[in-house]
């Protein structure tokens, strides 16, 4: 693994795993479909959640290989998305000022935009980082 492309924090991955029966760690590691599955099945009735305890290192390595590191930090973006996403703060952080203002005055487009961002934040950060590092 290339240490210069460490996009996600394994420590944050384990902290999110503590809330993993709701899929938090899976959303953090860019696995929105299984994140939703974990959310609606309590981590596949806790069994998948326990198995994930041992899968966190491989999820972390997969993210480091898949996503581009850059000036936008994935962990900060994830925290802003989860806790302040309905205000668009994460969009301001990523330099998306127009949609950030729209999220701010519409409560994240009445929650639907916030849900979309929770499901796609890894790809959004990756896209911004690729754009910013291409210049």
- pLDDT computed for residue 1 by the predictor: 41
Residue 10 has pLDDT above 90, yes or no: yes
Contacts of residue 80, Cβ cutoff 8 Å, sequence gap at least 6:
89, 90, 93
- pLDDT computed for residue 2 by the predictor: 45
Task: Report residue 21's pLDDT band, with 50, 70 and 90 as the boundaries.
Answer: confident
Q: Which helix (H) or strand (E) holds 56?
A: helix 47-66
For residue 28, what are the CA distances in angstroms to 17, 75, 78, 106?
A: 10, 8, 7, 25
pTM of the predicted model as reported, rounded to 2 decimal places: 0.91
């Amino acid at each position: 693994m290339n240490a210069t492309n460490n996009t996600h924090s394994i420590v944050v991955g384990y902290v999110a795993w503590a809330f993993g029966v709701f899929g938090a760690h899976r959303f953090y590691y860019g696995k929105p479909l299984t994140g939703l599955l974990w959310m609606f099945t309590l981590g596949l009735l806790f069994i998948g959640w326990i198995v994930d305890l041992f899968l966190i290192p491989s999820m972390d390595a997969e993210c480091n290989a898949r996503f581009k590191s850059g000036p936008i930090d994935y962990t900060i973006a994830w925290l802003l998305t989860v806790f302040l996403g309905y205000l668009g703060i994460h969009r301001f952080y990523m330099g998306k000022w127009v949609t950030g203002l729209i999220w701010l005055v519409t409560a994240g487009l009445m929650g639907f935009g916030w849900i979309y961002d929770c499901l796609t934040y890894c790809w959004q950060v990756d896209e911004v980082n690729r754009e910013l590092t291409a210049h």
